[in-house]
Structure 1
Amino acid sequence: MFFVISKLLWALVEPFNFLLILGLVGVLLSFSPRPRLGRRLCIASLLLFGIVSFSPLGPSLLRPIEDRFPLPAANMPAPAGIIVLGGALDEDLTQSRHEPVLMALGGRVTEGAVLARRFPTSRLIFTGGSSSLHPSGADEAAGVRELWTELGIDPARMTFETKSRNTWENALFTRALIGPKPQETFLIVTAAWHIPRAMGVFRKLGYHVIAYPTDYMTLGDTRDYSWLNLGTAGLVMFQYALHEWIGLAAYHLTGKTDAWFPAP
């Protein structure tokens, strides 16, 4: 139920959808007995679109999330396992085109292979099923397995959890699959903007975890606020930031994390 509600609510408040619906309602009302309200809604839609696209609002909201957990030291001891969260491959395109197709922020999968080479004694674990309300039957894990094998990783080192639909289920179902021991440490590999929530969930379920953020969207310096880098990029960053801040609050309020904003 949590999964379905979260998907439906996000579909309504997702910024691009919300602004588009607001503008369309304004256009329709412009040809109704309430044209003034329609014009106001159209103007509000354009103004809000301009603010989130051409102001530093998106980077300002996203930077604190991405900067929350730094990369671990290069000389860190080998972990017991490297847990890569799903959402990196487009499963439908992968199935249709018969080759792994990475999404725009799919670097976590290739980074997982890099880490597997760096720590040859560590297990490589992928966790993620379909996050769609209407799954097509395509399997992201199959594409990940193919990609990792082509990158030279021994399939005997790989473990796949394929039923989870969100971050909570990633941690819950993976725990049932691998049975982490108290003395074992696991790397959590996912997008930097998703690391705080993921770390909070895995900690809540008893894992000893170290964050390994990937797929940064912000540069971490003043260039994040340059007008040259804003536009559609600003809107995209705002969408990811809003999604994560809402997710952090929802997960804490429902007891899935122990902190509003998990920290190192």
Structure 2
Amino acid sequence: MFFYLAKVLWFVLQPSTLIALLIGYGAILIWTGWARWGRRFVTVGAILLLIAGLSPLGNALILPLEDRFPRAGIAAPPPPTGIIILGGAEDRLVGSARQAPTLNEAGERLLEGAILAHKFPEAKIAFSGGDAGVLYKSDSEAEGAAALLTQLGIDRDRLILEADARDTYENAVYLKKELTARGELDLTKRWLLITSAYHMPRAIGAFRQAGFWVEPWPVDYRTRGSADLTRPFDKVSEGLRRVDVASREWVGLFAYWMTGRTDALFPGPDEGAPDCAPAAPGATPPDSRPACPDRPSP
């Protein structure tokens, strides 16, 4: 129920839709006895369209999300046990029809997953993503991801596919259940989480709430950093889309927190850590937690 309600509410509440409704409603009123109000609505809508479409507003909204989690330190041992890739990088409706890979602007999730898979040849690769379509159904993202990853040279035996999740919280819950059943989940093992940088706070919060400690590996950055706080957009459509993407994450964080799907309103790097972390002889744990007792301490 949460999944469908979120889809419907966000379609109505996203900034681009609200602006379009404001202008459209105003245009209708202009031809009625409420013409003065119609002109006001159209004027306000046009101003909001220009602000959202051309100003750096979208960058200002998305930058705190992207900067919230730095990449985990993977140079020091122990190496990752596994690498988690969240869905959202494919258009399976087109891909299944064309029988071809159809990556969208979040395609770095799969690309970076393949790069790390080759860098850590012993690590498992877990992908979580089902069919999140409402009006148009397709096969699961997991099927497309498996085909692409194997074509990129990843052994099929290394892949762990979860094909039922439709949102971030389900990614965490279903993947934890799958990995626990396989004996791949305990405090002695390191799992990296790959998702878009702006999506990482909500993803980390959902995984922590599900009792699954992961280390962030953000990708798909949309900004260079604070320098983009003064960079206007040269296309209204791009600026408006940036505002939509960022707003969706902020609203998603609030909704997840209100419904108990995240452990904090704005999850941070040091919140909710378990009592210990995996470590190898002669090495320090990958974060501030002490080494787990079933592994030798430095």
User: Quick check: TM above 0.5?
Assistant: yes
State the partner residue of 1:137.
138
* Paired letter, 1:208: W
Aligned to 2:3: 3
What is the alpha-carbon distance in structure 1 between the residues aligned to residue 259 and residue 233 of structure 2? 40
Whole-angstrom distance in 1 between the partners of 2:231 and 2:254: 29
- TM-score when scaled to structure 1? 0.95
Contact 1:182 1:207 in 2 (8 A): no
Quick one: which amino acid aligns to residue 71 of structure 1?
R
CA displacement 1:200-257 (0-9 Å, x = unmatched) = 1111111121000010001113144223567433222211111111111111111111
CA contact (8 A) 2:63 2:226 kept: no
Alignment of 1:173-212 (within 5 A): 173-179=174-180, 180-212=185-217
The structure-2 alpha-carbon separation of the partners of 1:120 and 1:223, relative to structure 1 and needing over 3 Å to count, comes to: same
Q: Equivalent residue for 2:79?
A: 78
Q: Which residue, 226, 235, 238 being the options, matches 2:243? A: 238
Aligned to 2:98: 97
State the partner residue of 1:126: 127
Q: Which residue is 1:53 aligned to? A: 53
User: 204-213 or 224-233: which moved more?
Assistant: 224-233
Q: Which runs of 5+ in 1 are unaligned?
A: none
Find the structure with the greater CA-based Rg: 2
Say yes or no: does 1:114 pair with 2:119. Answer: no
Letter matched to residue 99 of structure 1: A
Q: Is contact 1:55-1:230 (8 Å) kept? A: no
Q: Residue 25 of structure 2 corresponds to which residue in structure 1?
A: 25
Q: Distance in 2 between matches of 1:139 and 1:241?
A: 25
How many angstroms apart in 2 are the aligned matches of 1:141 and 1:11?
25
- Name the CA distance, whole Å, in 2 between partners of 1:233 and 1:187: 31
Query: Structure 1 residues 228, 85: closer, same or farther in 2, change over 3 A?
Result: closer
1:129 & 1:33 partners in 2: Cα distance? 50
Any conservation in 2 of the 1:29–1:37 contact (CA below 8 Å)? yes
The answer as to whether partners of 1:223 and 1:229 remain within 8 angstroms in 2 is no
The one-letter code sitting in structure 1 at the alignment partner of 2:212 is Y
**Is 2:198 the counterpart of 1:168?**
no
**Whole-angstrom CA distance in 1 between matches of 2:235 and 2:136:** 34
